[in-house]
Structures are given as C-alpha cells and as structure tokens.
Structure 1
C-alpha cells in the first residue's frame, strides 16, 4: 500500500465519520463513490468495503452524543431496535441480490437512488 493510498484512506475515514456524525450519512453515500473514484474499486468491491467498515461499532460515540444530548436524548430505542433487526435481515438479502446484478447496472441503480434522495431533500421542506 502506497503512502498516497494511505492518505486517501485517512481522508475517506475522517470525511465519512464527520458526515455520519453531522448528518447521519457516511457509508453508501460517501464511501462507495469515493472508493470507486479515488481507489478504482468496482461497485461490488466498494459496497462490500463500505459494509465492512461499518461492521465494528464505528458509530458508538456518535450515537452516545445523540443519546445524551439535551433533554434525555434524541433516539427512540424501540424504533432503533426494530429497524436494526430488520436492517440485518435486509442487508443479508440485499447483498445476495447485489452480487447477482452486473456491476454496471448496479452502479446505475445506486446513482439513480442517490439522485432521487438528493432531489427530494433539496425540494421538500
């Protein structure tokens, strides 16, 4: 691994971490495109790597800050538990499906999804 690659990885990690804590994004929205653009990974490799990065409790401290903020926190733990369990199941099923899709089509699906989200965020109150 070259020094340039290490520097890129440091920047990706810090950027994804800061944006995750700031606005709740980091994995797919930040890391996947950056892995493809700056490291030359395939869509499948970038998605797998993004998931691998999130495997350890990387958001623990960010969640702790939201939990302890202000009037007792900003997290509904019942909702978090339900979504977490289904996220695990959905992640398993989604990864099985993604690995069956040609990477060019997968990249287009990913891009369209990001475009729809961006347009919705920009034009809704």
Structure 2
C-alpha cells in the first residue's frame, strides 16, 4: 500500500511541478507527513532524495524547447540550492518535529498571503 501512496504523491507532484514549478516543499513534504505519516525530517530528506537529477530534466526540457529557460539563472539557482540545502538540512536536524512542522506551516502561510495580495 505505501508504494502506491508514494507513486501517487510523486505523480501529483510531477503534474504540479510541470504546471507551476512546485513539488518538493509545497506538495511532497506535506503529503509525506500527512498521508504517508513520515516525520518532518524524514519527509524532507525523502523529498530531496527524490528530486535529485534527472527528475526535473524532462520537464525543464519541455520549457527549454519553447525558449522558457534562463540557463544562467538556472545554474546560479542550482549552486544556491546545493549550498542552501546542505545548511538547511543541517539546521533541520536540530529542530523537534513539532517545531519543524510549525515553521513550515508559517512559511506556507506567508507564501499564500503574498500570492493572494500580489
């Protein structure tokens, strides 16, 4: 049963990633916490592991073919993501599951408010 749940979460994240460029933090992590019942650090680590190259390559290729990829920006973002993910993951290991879940909820709430009013 859990394999089916993971496949469905991945499918949903893939569709939303292709549509909106989201997946990991906005869909996969909450789904792993609430549907698959993983602890926040396990959910985050699992999401990061799933998003390793070349998962985004096929979606990015479709955008690139239409001229919708800034390659320099993508490379710079990748460097920042690699460094940031390392330090973010290191810090997350020091937080309790409740603190991490609440911090994540605050982050999502702030993003939602910004999206709504902009």
Q: What's the TM-score, normalizing by structure 1?
A: 0.90
- Residue 91 of structure 1 is aligned with which of 85, 95, 108? 85
TM superposition outliers: structure 1 runs of 4+ over 2 Å:
none
> Shift in Å at residue 57 of structure 1?
1.0
Q: Which has the higher contact order (CA 8 A, sep 6+)?
A: 2
1:68 to 32, 40, 65: 65
TM-score calculated relative to the size of structure 2:
0.96
Q: CA deviation at 1:64?
A: 0.3
Shift of 1:48: 0.5
CA RMSD of aligned residues (A): 0.9
1:114 corresponding residue in structure 2:
108
**1: CA distance between counterparts of 2:87 and 2:52?**
16
Residues paired across the two proteins, number = 118
Pairwise mapping of residues 1-125 of structure 1 onto structure 2 (< 5 A)?
Answer: 4-69=1-66, 73-124=67-118
Q: Which runs of 5+ in 1 are unaligned?
A: none
SS in 2 for 1:39: coil
Could you list the runs of 5+ residues in structure 2 that have no partner in the other structure? none
